[in-house]
Amino acid sequence: MTYDVNKIRSHFPSLNTGLAFFCGPGGSQVPDVVGAAIAGAITKPISNRNTNTESEKNAEEIVVGFRQAVGDLIDVDPRGVVYGRSWTQLTYDFSRTLAKSWGPGDEIVVSRLDHDSNIRPWIQAAEAVGATVRWAEFDSATSELTVAAVEAVLSPKTKLVAVTGAGNTIGTRPDLKAIGVAVHKVGALFYVDGVHLTPHAAISVKEIGADFFGFSFYKLMGPHCAALAASPALLETLNNDKLLPATSAVPERFEFGTLPYELMAGCIAAIDFIAEMAPGNSTTRRERIVNSMNALEKYEDGLLEYLESSVKALPGVVMYGHAKHRTPTIYFSCAGHSSADIYTAMASKGVTLPASNFYALEVSRTLGLGDAGALRAGLAPYSIKDDVDRLVGGLKEILA
Ligand SMILES: Cc1ncc(COP(=O)(O)O)c(C=O)c1O
């Protein structure tokens, strides 16, 4: 089945504002079905999870459905899916838990390509126990984070390697599978931030070989929350802090307090929406998701080519993402103009084109952009050629 962008767009009430949204990497727009699922769950009979009353069963069904939907989305065992308020929160929690088994002499690897949420929690956790942090560097000329760059900082002392599935500004998609092989060769754990990758590609955590993989729903048409997946057996080995009466069961013992059932219902709806974007003739939800995401990737790659070549042709534009394998996200500045000023000028034209380091602070500094960063235009499932024309037309007027 082909990718019918107009049909998809008809589900997004926010598109009726007439705004052209390029802020998807910071948070996507949300389809009507997700809003309806959240409203439905919060107003139907709901009690704490159990199996006695209808209200308890409703909560139980949502939690089980949430884990199954994430399992289908990223190809993991639903019994190892942990709900989180955000990916940052999950990484802070897991870094503190994992650091309990580290000490002086142990090494942790972080990458310069990553969002700060997959860097600072590891540095702070390592510092707290006297472990050493080593940096895997990306090449600012090619934008690539190579397997060799990661291997260069691996050793038998390495306990964990934290790498992003895709750079959230320059879009680089490192070869996760090959990096995972190298990480496991030295006996370390592989922790992957899938926040910027998951909205743009079919993901199989099994194929990638990550020990931990997570993403945020609000980047892929869902509510503001996140999920982390690991094998239940690995989760069993982790000794996290928890309340005494709270269950020790996995994955529940990593989810603090009462779960937000309504948001979890919204997450299920977002994944079902993805499964129906371009499902093909498949019967299982997993297969429909893979078909949809493959169709989306093809669609976004085509539109990216148009976006990139049109923006590149404008006077004084400097592009920062050059990796061979990239998400449909461009990061650029315009000589003689402040990115922050362009951001506000474009906003007045109804185009969301934010400027920032977008918390990829190390990337911004490495590229010589300081902490201010540059402009980021990201495509999303509802993006169309007309949006790109409006972005390029607006920039042309500003740069004239
Ligand atoms: C690659 C990447 N990782 C992590 C995050 C942070 O996610 P959250 O807001 O769920 O903590 C973002 C958000 O911009 C991101 O793009």
Contact 159, 175 (CB under 8 A): no
Cα(260)–Cα(271) distance, integer angstroms: 17
SS3 state at 193: strand
Ligand 1 atom nearest to CA at 91: 11
Query: Which residue among 85, 168, 203 has the greatest number of ligand 1 atoms within 8 angstroms of its CB, and so is best to mutate?
Result: 168
Binding site membership of 88 for ligand 1 (Cβ less than 6 Å): yes
Cα(92)–Cα(193) distance, integer angstroms: 13
Ligand 1 atom nearest to CA at 167: 1
pLDDT value of position 1: 64
Cα(113)–Cα(170) distance, integer angstroms: 9
Q: What is the mean pLDDT of each run of 10 residues along the chain (400 residues)?
A: 93 98 98 98 97 98 98 98 98 98 98 98 98 98 98 98 98 98 98 98 98 98 98 98 96 97 98 96 95 98 98 98 98 98 98 98 98 98 98 97
Q: Ligand 1 mean position to 128 CA, how many Å?
A: 24
pLDDT value of position 223: 98
Cα(180)–Cα(91) distance, integer angstroms: 18
Burial pattern 132-157, b for ≥16 Cβ within 10 A else e, equals bbbebbbbeeebbbbbebbbebbeee
Query: Which residue among 82, 83, 87 has the greatest number of ligand 1 atoms within 8 angstroms of its CB, and so is best to mutate?
Result: 87
pLDDT value of position 35: 98
Q: Ligand 1 mean position to 326 CA, how many Å?
A: 17
Predicted TM-score (pTM) of this structure: 0.98
pLDDT value of position 33: 98
Binding site membership of 86 for ligand 1 (Cβ less than 6 Å): yes
Binding site membership of 168 for ligand 1 (Cβ less than 6 Å): yes
Contact 104, 131 (CB under 8 A): yes
Binding site membership of 172 for ligand 1 (Cβ less than 6 Å): no
SS3 state at 303: helix
Cα(242)–Cα(258) distance, integer angstroms: 13
3-state class percentages of the chain: helix first, strand second, coil last, to nearest 5:
45, 15, 40
Q: Ligand 1 mean position to 328 CA, how many Å?
A: 16
